[in-house]
Amino acid sequence: MSSSREKPILIIDGKRLDGRSFDQLRPLSITTNVVPNADGSAFIEWGNNKIIAAVYGPKEALPKHTQDPERAVIKCRYAMSPFSSAEEHGSSKPNRRAIEISKITKEVFENVILIDEFPGGEINIYVDVLQSDGGTRAAGITAAAAAVASAGLPMRDIPYAVSVGKADGHLILDMNKIEDNYSDADVPMTICPRTKEIILLQMDGSFDGSKEFREAYSMVLKAGEEISRIQKEALKEPYTKIIDKYR
């Protein structure tokens, strides 16, 4: 959030620093099946973010005391590589921020995966941020959703995530690192596209109230159409490749 360092102007002549309009996503691409050992995986490039998500399971939950006799447990680890940020060398050990993100990411997938189908099982979701440029939790969840779907796990929906920020009184979609550092608010959301339910919601900064939230939510839903489309394209891609080969 705001810093006492000289605050850069984030919006010039109605455009953002990288030339985007307020409700424009950064370039976004997803490739599935990038980790052959995993049951499902996805690589996402979202702006300058580069993130790999991989999924293992369901398998028997170990150690045994972590088992739930009625459903699968989801274990999630979000981590940033020590070389991922433009700042100094980081620690690869999960810090408090990473533990919080791991927790809320886990909760997203507890919602959408039909965990009741796998009593006593565990599903592992790994999100590794290789390069970060703002919005890594949203990009990580969007990639992990594709990875879970590519693993063939039953889901009630394929969620996507994106964040809305605020700068100079304008709501701005999908902030990059500079915007994230100096914006007046950051509201990441994760949505189930079929029902439009909100399954992850956080906020940091200042918002006037519910009206501003409504604007942010509709911005997210609109952008979500594009993000969902890219997720689904990525999921189809390995199969269309095979079909093309035998056509």
Partner 1 sequence: MTSIKLSNADYVKQLLKNNERDDKRGFMEYRTINIINGFIPNAEGSARVKLGYTDVLAGVKLGVEEPMPDKPNEGNLMVSAELLPMASETYEAGPPTPEAIELSRVIDRGIRAASAVDLSKLFIEEGKVWTAFIDVYVINYDGNLFDAGELAAMSALMNTKMPKYEDGKIIKEESTGKLPIGNLVTSCTFAKIGKSILLDPTGLEEEIMSARLTVANDDKYMRAMQKGIKGSFTGEEVEMLIDTSFEKSKQLRKVLDENKVD
Residues interacting with partner 1, by CB under 8 A? 1, 3-5, 69-70, 96-97, 99-100, 102-104, 107-108, 110-111, 187, 192, 195-210, 213-214, 217
Q: Name which of 29 and 206 has its Cβ closer to partner 1.
A: 206
Q: Name which of 4 and 37 has its Cβ closer to partner 1.
A: 4
**What's the CA angle centered on 105, arms 238 and 212, to 5 degrees?**
105
Beta-bridged to residue 46, according to DSSP, are 28, 49
Cα separation, 56 vs 114, in Å, equals 15
Cα separation, 126 vs 161, in Å, equals 16
Cα separation, 155 vs 169, in Å, equals 38
Q: Name which of 34 and 203 has its Cβ closer to partner 1.
A: 203
Q: Name which of 205 and 238 has its Cβ closer to partner 1.
A: 205
CA nearest neighbour of 98 among 129, 62, 66, 124: 129
Cα separation, 139 vs 129, in Å, equals 9
CB of 69 to partner 1, least distance (A): 8
CB of 145 to partner 1, least distance (A): 15
Q: Name which of 29 and 66 has its Cβ closer to partner 1.
A: 66
CB of 111 to partner 1, least distance (A): 4
CA nearest neighbour of 166 among 104, 238, 216, 220: 216
CB of 115 to partner 1, least distance (A): 9
CB of 184 to partner 1, least distance (A): 10
DSSP helix/strand/coil, 120: coil
